[in-house]
Chain A
Amino acid sequence: MKMTSPLPPPGKEMGHYVSEAPFDVMSIEKISPEQEKIYLAPQWKLMWWKFRQHRIAVWCGVFLAILYATIFISEFLAPYNIQTRNVDHIYSPPQQVHLFHEGEFVGPFVYRQQYKLNMETLKREYTKDTSKVDKIRFFCTGDTYHWWGLVEMETHLFCPANGGELFLLGTDRLGRDMFSRIMGGARISLTIGLLGVMVSFVLGIVIGGMAGYYGGWVDMVVQRMIEVLQSLPSIPLWLALAAIMPVTWSPLVVYFGITVILGLLDWTGLARAVRSKLFSLREEDYVMAAQLMGAKPSRIISLHLVPGFMSHLIATATIAIPTMILGETALSFLGLGLRPPITSWGVLLIEAQNINVVALYPWLMLPVVPVVLVILAFNFLGDGLRDAADPYK
C-alpha cells in the first residue's frame, strides 16, 4: 500500500481507504481454546469455578440441597407421624440397629424393648430383649398421612416390624418417635429462615438502594430509620411484636407472622451494606457513562449497580438465614412464636429445656444436631459464595 495520493484541495474531504485484506482478530495475541473458555466465560461461570475451589462450601451446598429436598417427602421418610403416640413406650431411649444376630447376618433390625416401672424412682426402665428380633421393613405401610394435605398415603421408606417398634432416636414424654418429629420439624424450621430472609432482602435492597443512589435527604431519612431500628435490642422488639399477634390466628398464620417479624427487623444490616456499596460504586465511570447516555436511575440501579454486588448480597443472605433459624428458637424460648402442637426444631428444643431431660433423657436434645449442622452448612456455603463472588481475587 503506498501513501502516494496527494492531499485533497482545501475544503474537500480526505480520501477514505479501507484495506480489504483479511484480518485475523487473534493475530496479535493468540489464545488457545482453553484460554478462550476462560476469557469469554460469563460472570456466573467464573463464580462457579471459583466456588468449586472451596470444597467444603460445595459439600455444604449439596447437603442443604438434599435437606431441602427431603422436606417434600418428610412423612414418607419417617417411620411414624409426628403426633403418633405410644403410651407404652414413654421416654424410651434410642434403639440400636444391628445387622448380625447371634453371628448370622439377618439384615437391619432392632431388639424389642421390655418395659418396667421402677417403683422407687418412678423411672421407666427399658431393657433389650435379645431373643425378639424386629426386622425393619422397607417401603412398607405404616401410619396414614396426607401428602401435602391432599393425597392420603400410607407408604413409608422404612417402618418397624409388625408388632414391634422402631425408635431410632428414642421417644419423648408422650411416646412420640423423636426421629419422625425431627424430620417433621425440619419443614417449618428450614422454610422459616428462607421466607424471613426474602422479606428482609426485598426491604434491604429497595430501601438501601434508594438511599445509596439518591443520597441527600433520602439517604438521611433512611439512615435515621436504620439507626432507630438498630438501636433497639432485638429481643425486646420481638417480644413486643409477637405479643400483639392475636391468639386466635391459626398456627399457619402465626408462622407467617413470625417470619415477617423476623424479616422486618433484619433488613437494616443489608440496607446499610447496599447503601455503602452504592456510595462507592456510584462514583465509578461506567455509572457516569450510563447517566450521560440518558439511562433512568432505576435502570442504572438494577442493571448496572446491583449486579455488581449481587453476589455479595447472596452471600450475606445465606448467612442471615441461620440468624433467622436461631431467632425462631429464641422466640420459642420466650414463649412466643411457635408453640406446641406445631412441631419445629425450636419447639422440640424448648420441650427439652429442663433438668430432667439433661440428666435423664438426653436423647431429647438431639434436635440440636440438625440445627447446628444446618447453621454451619449455611455459613460455609455463604463463605464460599462470597469468596467466589469477590472480583478482586
Chain B
Amino acid sequence: MLRYIAWRITVMVPTLLMISALVFTIIELPPGDYFESYVAELQAQGENVDLKAIEALKVQYGFDKPPVERYFHWVWGMLHGDFGYSFEYELPVTDVVGDRLWLTMLVSFVTIIFTWLVAFPIGIYSATHQYSWGDYGLTFVGLLGLATPNFLLALVFLYLANLWFGTSIGHLMDAQYFNEPMSWAKAKSIMEHLIIPVIIIGTAGTAGMIRRIRANLLDELQKQYVITARAKGLHPFKALMKYPLRMSMNFFISDIGSILPAIISGAEITAIVLSLETTGPLLIRALQAQDMYLAGSFLMFLAGLSVIGVLISDFALALLDPRIRLQGAHTK
C-alpha cells in the first residue's frame, strides 16, 4: 500500500508537467497575443498608439523570446510561488484573484450544502418508493434544474426578484457595500443576493446527485444484511439510515476529485450573467483577452487541485474496495 502511495505521488509530477504544457499551448493557440488586442483596443478609443512603447512592453515581459523559453520561465516562476503578472489588470496575478477567491468559495459551499439538502431526501424517497408517482414527480423536479439553460434562468430570476422583492440586480451584494468592511448589513445583503445563484447552480447539480443516491441506495437495499436486519425487528428507518445509507456514500469519495476545483472556480456562465464577483468570469475574460499569466496560472492552480483530489479519492477508494486490484493485469 505504501509503495502505491509513493508511486502515485511520484507520478503526479509528470502529470502536472503535462498539464502545464497543455495549458500553455491552449492559451497560446489562438492567433495573436495580448499585446495585439491591447493595441487594437487603444486604437478603438482613439488613443495614439506608441508602437515602440508596446514593443518595449513586450520585451519587458519576455514576449520577444520563443514560446518554449517563455514556457519554462513561467513554470520556473510558479515553482517559486510567482504566478506571474496580469497584463489586463496590471497587477500580480495573486492580487487580482485574491479577493474573489473567498467569495467564490462562499458561493460554492452554500451551493453544495443546498444541493445536499435537496438531493438527499429526494434520493432516499426515490429509492424507497421506486416507480411510484412520487418517485417520478420528484425526479422530474430535480431534473428540471439540470435541463434549463442557466443563463436564461438567471436573467429571468434577476428580473422577477427585482420586480417582486426589489433586490438589486446582479452582484453578490448591494452597491454601497462594495468597498466597505464586513458588517451585519453587508452580510445580510450578501445572503439576499446569494439566493438566486445558489438556486440556479444548485438545481443543476441536484439531478446527478439524486440519481446517484438513488442508484447506490437501491443496490444496498437489495443486500442480505438489510433483510436480516428487518427480520430481526430493526426499525425501518434505522434499517435504512444506519447501514445502507452509509455504505452508499462511496460516491462522495470518488467525487472529491471534481468537487475541489469546482469550489474554486465553477459555474462560470451563471456568474457572468449575474455579474458575480467570483473567479469564473475572471478566468473566461482572461482567456478571451489572452492574458497569459492570469489564465495560465489560474488554470494550473485548478488543475493541481483536481489532480490532488483524484489522488485522495483513489486512495480512499482503494482502501474501501479491495476488488480494484492495483497491480496491473492479472497473470495466471
Contact = CB atoms under 8 A, between A and B. Distances in A.
Direct contact of A and B (CB under 8 A): yes
Interface stretch (B16-24, B51-59, B71-79): B16-24
A100 B23 CA distance: 65
A233 B261 contact: yes
A237 to B, nearest CB: 7
A110 interface: no
Contacts of B284: 235-236, 239, 334
Contact of A355 (B19, B27, B155): B155
Given A280-B323, A352-B152, A368-B149, A233 B15 contact: no
Nearest to A369: B148
A220 interface: yes
Interface in B316-332: 323-325, 328-330, 332
A153 interface: no
B128 to A, nearest CB: 15
Interface stretch (A128-136, A174-182, A375-383): A375-383
Contacts of A53: 131
B149 A329 contact: yes
B18 A224 contact: yes
Nearest to B23: A232
A244 to B, nearest CB: 5
Interface stretch (B33-41, B103-111, B300-308): B300-308
Contacts of B274: none
B310 A227 contact: yes
Nearest to B31: A244
A2 interface: no
Contact of A243 (B29, B149, B273, B332): B29
B43 interface: no
B45 to A, nearest CB: 21
A56 interface: yes
B329 A215 contact: yes
A280 B265 CA distance: 34
Contacts of A231: 19, 261, 302-307, 310
A167 to B, nearest CB: 21
A243 B324 contact: no
Contact of A240 (B211, B257, B258, B287): B287
A375 B144 CA distance: 9
B89 interface: no
B269 interface: yes
B131 A216 contact: no
A67 to B, nearest CB: 15
B147 A322 contact: yes
Contact of A215 (B155, B159, B328): B328
Interface in A224-273: 224, 227-228, 230-233, 235-237, 239-241, 243-244
Contact of A232 (B149, B302, B324, B330): B302
Interface string B77-121: 000000000000000000000000000000000000000000000
B15 A227 contact: yes
B174 interface: no
B330 A237 contact: no
Contacts of A276: 324
A279 B26 CA distance: 33
A26 interface: no
A219 B326 CA distance: 10
Nearest to A288: B332
B75 to A, nearest CB: 15
Nearest to B157: A358
B88 to A, nearest CB: 16
User: Which of B299, B329, B332 has the largest number of chain A CB atoms within 10 A?
Assistant: B329
Contact of A330 (B15, B136, B269, B305): B269
User: Which of B26, B146, B147, B273 has the largest number of chain A CB atoms within 10 A?
Assistant: B147
B206 to A, nearest CB: 13
Contact of A376 (B144, B155, B257, B330): B144
Contact of B18 (A228, A280, A330): A228
Interface in A198-237: 213-216, 219-220, 224, 227-228, 230-233, 235-237
Interface string B221-232: 010000000000
B149 A349 contact: yes
A372 B147 contact: yes
Contacts of B139: 380, 383
B151 A240 contact: no
Nearest to B207: A379
A380 B144 CA distance: 12
Contact of B329 (A214, A243, A353): A214
B156 interface: yes
A330 B287 CA distance: 16
A326 B323 CA distance: 36
A359 interface: yes
A237 B18 CA distance: 15
A371 interface: yes
B243 interface: no
B29 A244 contact: yes
A282 B328 CA distance: 11
A63 interface: no
Given A224-B18, A239-B288, A352-B152, A232 B299 contact: yes
B283 interface: yes
Contacts of A358: 155-156, 159
Contacts of B265: 233
A283 interface: yes
Nearest to A246: B31
Contact of B15 (A228, A235, A354, A372): A228
Contacts of A363: none
10 contacts: A215-B329, A220-B11, A228-B15, A230-B310, A244-B31, A282-B329, A334-B269, A353-B155, A371-B149, A392-B219
Given A232-B303, A330-B151, A353-B151, 15 more contacts: A220-B11, A231-B302, A231-B310, A233-B261, A233-B283, A236-B284, A280-B324, A282-B329, A329-B151, A330-B149, A334-B284, A358-B156, A372-B148, A375-B143, A375-B147
5 interchain residue pairs of minimum CB distance: A231-B306, A215-B329, A375-B147, A216-B328, A243-B30
